[in-house]
Structure 1
C-alpha cells in the first residue's frame, strides 16, 4: 500500500479551446487517511481538477498522481483502488437499484462473481437502500440516486474515495447518515476527497481542505487551522459609530452589518476591556462584545472575497 500523499498535483494546468484557463498551476497535496474538502466559488476549477485526477480529461501541462501513480498513465492499475461519484451517478433507469449495482460490479474485472450478490447487498445496506433495492432507478429521488452512486463506489474496498457533492439531494437525516458513513470509512483507513457546497459539512466531517478561486489554489491545510483565526465581534445598534471608534483605535479588516461589527483587534497586548470602555465612552451602545472563532465561511470569504457558491 502506498504511504505517500493519496493525491498530489504539481503545476497542474488545464486550458480549453479558446484560451479559457480553467486550472492554473495547481499544487495540491491530499494526505493519506484524511477527509479532504475541496472548496471554491462557481467556476473555480474544482470539477475540471477532479476530471483530470480521474483521467477523464488530459491536463494541458503539469502532473497528477493518485496513490503514488501518475494519472492518466496508470489509470488501469490505480482506478480499481479508487471509488468515485462525480456529478451524480450514471444509471440504467429501467433497471432496479440492485441490478444497476450488479452491472457496475460485473464491469469490474477484479470483482469475484461468486460473491457479487453479497457485495451488492452489503453496499445497499450501507447506504440505506435495502428496502428500495428492487425499485427501478428511474423512480428514485435525487437523494436515492446519490445513495446508489455511493453504493457503487463502495462495492469493493477502496483506498481512496473521490466524491462530488455526495449529500446533494438528501434530506437532513440522509445527510447525517452519509456524513457518519464518511467518518466510518475514514476510520477504516480510506482517504476521502470530496467537494461540497455546504461549508458546515466541511467543518463537521473534513480534517483538511483546500480553497480554489479562478483556477488557482488559494490555501490548503487542516480545517482547524484554516478556520482558527479569532476576530473581535461587537453587537450594537450603532455599527457605524462602533466601526469608526475601532478603526481610530487601530482595528483593521472591519466588516459592518446592520447590528454587528467584526474586526481584527489592534496589535499589541491591549486589554479588550479598554476597547469596550472606549466604545461606551464614545456613546456606542454595546449589546455584546468579545472575541470569537471565525467560521470556515468567514475564512473562505476573507480568502476569496466572494460568497460561497461551488457549483463549478
Structure 2
C-alpha cells in the first residue's frame, strides 16, 4: 500500500535540550483516515508542524505525498489541506470573504472558478446561511467549520486536521465525522489528531499512539483494540457485594464505576466464567448482566500509555 506520509528517525530537539519527538517512524497509508493520539506533551503537534514544513527537524526524514519535507513544500503543500491549532481568520471580513482571500493567496487556484468553489466549500461545512456575517461573530464551532472549508477549497490528496470537532455541538460533530468519511471515500487521505478517543474509533481506519515523544504503536484501529484484553463486567443492583465477592474469589482489578457496573480483569484460562457467575448468585448477588466486554480503543490507549483519557496536546 502506498504511503502518503512516511517518516524515518524523525527527531526534534528544542533549545535547552528538550526532546519533543524521538526517532519517529510513521507510515500513513493512502486512502486511510489516520488518527494521531497521544497524551499532553507527547509530540503530536510538533510532528504535524514538521510534516507541514512549519519547523525543521533536528534529524531524520519525512516524505509527504512523495516529496521530501523540508525541501519540496512548493510542490507538495498545494495538494494538502490543513487545519492546525484552529483557523487564523480576519474577524472583520465575512466568512465568504475570508475564503476568497485564502483562495487568492494560493498560486495554483483558478480565479475563474473561485466564486463557485468558495460557495461549494461553505455549503459543504454547513455555513452558507452565515456566509456573509463577519467572522468575529462566529462561535468557536463555526470558526472551526470555516477553517475546514478553507482546507477544502480545492481537491486535496491529503487533509491534515488538528482537533477538527473542537467547539462543535453533537450534531456538528456528527456532520464533520460524516464529511471526513465522505472525503476518504472520494480518495482523500485524512490525517487527524483528536483528544476524543471515541471519535478516532468511530471515524478512523488506522491510528498511531505517541507518548513522551516516541511512537508506541501504529496500525489498523481494529487490530489495536483487538490486541488488548477486554474487561469482565457485571451488571447488578448489588455492586458492593459483587465487588467484594469477586475480590475474595481472586479476581484482579475489581472496581465499581459511577454507573454502578462492576468491572475487573478477565480471569485466566483455568477459571470458568460460568463458575464465577454461579458463585455471585450463591452469594446473594442479583446478576442482571455478566460477561467479558470487547476492549475499546480507550482500553488499548490506557494499557499502552498508562495515562488517562485526557490526551489533548
Please confirm whether the aligned pair reaches a TM-score higher than 0.5, indicating the same fold: yes
Shift of 1:278: 4.4
Partner of 2:186: 188
2:90 is paired with a residue whose SS is: coil
Instruction: Provide the residue aligned with 1:275 in structure 2.
Output: 276
In structure 2, C-alpha distance between the alignment counterparts of 1:271 and 1:41, rounded to whole Å: 37
Instruction: Output the aligned Cα RMSD.
Output: 1.7
Tell me the matched-pair count: 303
CA distance in 2, matches of 1:18, 1:257: 45
Return closer, same or farther for 1:308/1:58 CA change in 2, 3 Å cut-off: same
Which consecutive residues of structure 1, in runs of 5 or more, have no partner in the other structure?
none
Q: Check conservation: 1:234, 1:286, Cα contact below 8 A.
A: no
For 2:94 and 2:100, locate their aligned partners in 1 and report how far apart those are by CA, in whole Å.
Answer: 10
Kept after mapping to 2: 8 A contact 1:231/1:265: no
Q: Distance in 1 between matches of 2:157 and 2:165?
A: 21
Confirm or deny: 8 A CA contact 2:266 2:292 kept in the other structure: no
Aligned equivalent of 1:152: 150
Describe the superposition over 1:61-98 as per-residue Cα deviations: whole angstroms up to 9, x where unpaired: 11111112211111111101100000011111111111
Is the Cα–Cα contact under 8 Å of residues 243 and 256 in structure 1 kept in the other structure? no
Aligned to 2:247: 243
Query: SS at 1:114's partner residue?
Result: helix
Out of 38, 46, 49, the position equivalent to 1:48 is 46
What is the alpha-carbon distance in structure 2 between the residues aligned to residue 186 and residue 216 of structure 1? 27
Q: Which structure 2 residue ranges, 5 or more long, are not aligned?
A: none
**Other-structure match for 1:264:** 266
What is aligned with 2:295? 294
Alpha-carbon distance in structure 2 between the residues aligned to 1:180 and 1:114 = 30
Alpha-carbon distance in structure 1 between the residues aligned to 2:139 and 2:263:
43
The offset of 1:6, in angstroms, is: 1.0
In the TM superposition, structure 1's runs of 4+ consecutive aligned residues that sit over 4 Å from their partners are 278-281
State the SS of the aligned residue for 2:77: helix
1:284/1:6 CA distance change after superposition, 3 Å:
farther
Return the offset for 1:165.
Answer: 0.4
Mean Cα displacement is larger for which, 32-41 or 217-226? 217-226
What are the superposed Cα offsets for residues 8-40 of structure 1, whole Å, 9 maximum, x if unpaired? 111111111111111111111111101011111
CA distance in 2, matches of 1:216, 1:243: 36
| Alignment TM-score, normalising by the size of structure 1 | 0.92
In 2, Cα distance between equivalents of 1:240 and 1:26? 45
